[in-house]
Structure 1
C-alpha cells in the first residue's frame, strides 16, 4: 500500500510521501506487535471502535497510568544500577612531592 509521489515532485509532496511511508511503517510495526502478543489486529481495531467515548477515555487513562508506572520502574532500576557502580576512575594514585 505504498504511495509514490507524482512525477512533479515538490517539497510538500515529498514531505507528504515521507509522512505516509512513516505512518505505514508505524502501522505495520503495531500490527506485528499485536501478533507477537497473540492478538488479532483486526479484532483489536474493532474493539477500539466499539468503545463509547467514556470507555475510550477510561482506557486511555489506564494506558497512561501503566506507562507512567513502567517509566517509574525503569528510573528506579537505573538509579539502583548507578548507585551500585563503582566510582569512575577508581582510587586516585598517590602523588609524589618534590
Structure 2
C-alpha cells in the first residue's frame, strides 16, 4: 500500500481521522466527544477502491494513539471499530470501563 496521508480534524463536539486525495474523501472514522475524558467512535467509511487494505484499522490506530496521549477513553459504537476492539486486546486499554 502506498503511503497514506491520514489527517485529523477536531471540533468542539467531535472529530475525525480521514484520508483525502485530490479533494476526494477516500476514508474516514468519525467520533463525538462525550465530556472531557471520553469519545464515542460512531462511524467508519472506506471507499470501495480502498476496501480490504487495512485502511479502517490505520484510522483507528491514529485515533487510539491520540486518545492514549490525551489520557482519555473510547466507546466504540461503530460496528467496525467495535469488531477491531473485540479482536485485538492490545488496544483495549483505551476502552471505557477498562
Greater RCO between the two (CA within 8 Å, min separation 6)?
2
- Larger strand proportion, structure 1 or 2? 2
- Larger helix proportion, structure 1 or 2? 1
Same fold (TM over 0.5): no
TM-score (norm 2): 0.25
TM-score (norm 1): 0.25
In our comparison, the structure showing a higher alpha carbon Rg is 1
